[in-house]
Amino acid sequence: MPEETTLQSKVSSAQEGQSLLDFLSNRFRYQNRENWKDLIHQGKVTLNGSPAAPDHPLRSKDLVAYTVILNEPPVDKNIEILHNEKSFLVAVKPGNLPSHADGNFIKHTFIYILTELLKEQGFKGALNLVHRLDRETSGLMVVSKDRIAHQKLTHQFESGTFSKEYLAIARGVITENQFEIDGSIGQDTQSQVSVRQKVVPNETTYSKKSLTQFEKIRQLPTSTFIRCVPKTGRTNQIRVHLDSIGHSLIGDKLYGRSDDEFLAFIRHVKSGGDPSWSGHIETARQMLHASKLSFDHPETGKKITFEAPLPEDFKKYLESQGERL
């Protein structure tokens, strides 16, 4: 049910001097500049508890608040906590749940729901994501519970010492049993969709070198069940690399689809529609699952490994293709 909620954001030292309108337009892009101006004039936005003009200059630690009627799309809230200790936890994110607030999703997010769950269990600290998964990607996520653990874990993730494996189902028949894609990733400048990326020449400005190793697990009638091991950690890396060879993920609404198809999906979700876009695509979400993670314990330094079981929707798709599980 829609509910009125007040969202707050503190101005950082780097944002000091920006106007209220510039701050909102740059920080929260789910509304365009004109919409933010109208909301400020309507009194929906306050600065330190009081109304303010759009051109009001901000200072560090100012508190900007926005009152909104939330009409969030439905999500899968069934988070499974696999491991929980003093400094961190490991949980399995469902395949229809954003990692963090984005667009229409504010409270219907992994980190918000997990925080509320731990509050019910008596935890009073703050949780922080060590890394993120796409909304439609299921699987393992590591969450820190204190500042020192967060620093140690994020350093491992950013330096590439986290070992990650994914399971995926790609469109079409892939003939190779093992292969790798070593291709830089950059923005697709020919696309209307700003978030769409593609494999580009290594010397392309702002591109990032990327490497993913793949292993075929099973050949299906019209798709291929594969294991993916990203050796770099680029946004949408597996999805972009598979799309570059004509084998985008089953259920992917961006890659392997036209701009018009993806933009139609975005309009559907922003109007409060079901993100599964049921009936318009092969599966309710993209078939990508973060199945295995290995990293050094933030306190003992010992290597630890976690594995997440195959999700039910993966099993259902595989069974529909004649696989016995």
Q: What is the pLDDT of residues 15-45, one digit of tens each?
A: 999 999 999 988 776 678 998 999 999 999 9
Is 69's pLDDT higher than 80? Answer: no
The residues that bridge with 4 in the sheet, in sequence order, are 69
Our measurement of the distance from residue 285's CA atom to the centroid of its chain's CA atoms, rounded to an integer in Å, reads 13
Q: What is the pTM of this model?
A: 0.83
Is 1's pLDDT higher than 60? Answer: no
At 40, list the tokens: 């400020």
At 50, list the tokens: 């009081």
* pLDDT tier, 3 (very low <50, low <70, confident <90, very high otherwise): low
Q: How far apart are CA 307 and CA 239, in angstroms?
A: 21
Q: Of 307, 288, 274, 192, nearest to 240 (Cα)?
A: 288
pLDDT, mean over the chain: 92
State the pLDDT at residue 290: 98
State the pLDDT at residue 30: 66
Q: Which residues make Cβ contacts (< 8 Å) with residue 106, sequence separation at least 6?
A: 5, 7, 68, 70, 72, 112
State the pLDDT at residue 226: 98
Q: Which residues make Cβ contacts (< 8 Å) with residue 92, sequence separation at least 6?
A: 79, 80, 82, 138, 139, 140, 141, 308
Is 66's pLDDT higher than 70? Answer: yes
At 42, list the tokens: 């309507």
